[in-house]
Each structure stands twice: as structure tokens, then as C-alpha cells.
Structure 1
Amino acid sequence: MNRKRKFTLGFKNEAVALVTKQDYTITRAATSLGIKFQNPAYMGNASA
């Protein structure tokens, strides 16, 4: 069973800083933080 992970505010701020201040792509920032990036635009089409 998959559980939704909860991230601390500090972790979220670090992720945003990687993209906004260090010019990381979202995918690169996610990988460097040890998480898998899933594009929300595709998640809504899962039942199609």
C-alpha cells in the first residue's frame, strides 16, 4: 500500500530554493533530494 509522504517546511523550502536560486530543473532538484518527480498534469489522466 502506498502512503502519501509528508515533507517538512524546511525540506519544501530547500526544494524551492534549488529551482529558484540555483536554476535546477524540477526533475534535477527532485533527484538531488532523493524523491521521484511526478508531473501533476499527467496524474489526472490516470484513468483514461
Structure 2
Amino acid sequence: MKCPICGKPATESDHPFCSRRCADIDLAHWLRGDYRIPAETVSEAESDE
């Protein structure tokens, strides 16, 4: 399996990443909200219906 951040082979100790550095980069993406799913906001008029 390849590391989702850099593409190098994953290590058993840091699976699915190749290193702790790539795992920390992925965590930073999550904390910044980079992996969010875009959604449309619902107005109050639409939510009452």
C-alpha cells in the first residue's frame, strides 16, 4: 500500500502512512478542515417548510 500523502510505501508502524511526518501532515489537513464536504446553506424560509 502506498502512503496517501507522498506515495512512498507504507510502513507497518505508521500504517497507512510511510512516516510519522506524513501522518502529522494528514492530521493537519483534518484539523484545518481540508477534508470537509461542501454543502449548501438552507435559508430560514426553506427550513420552515
Q: Confirm or deny a common fold (TM above 0.5).
A: no
Instruction: Give me the TM-score of the superposition, normalised by structure 1.
Output: 0.36
More helix by share: 1
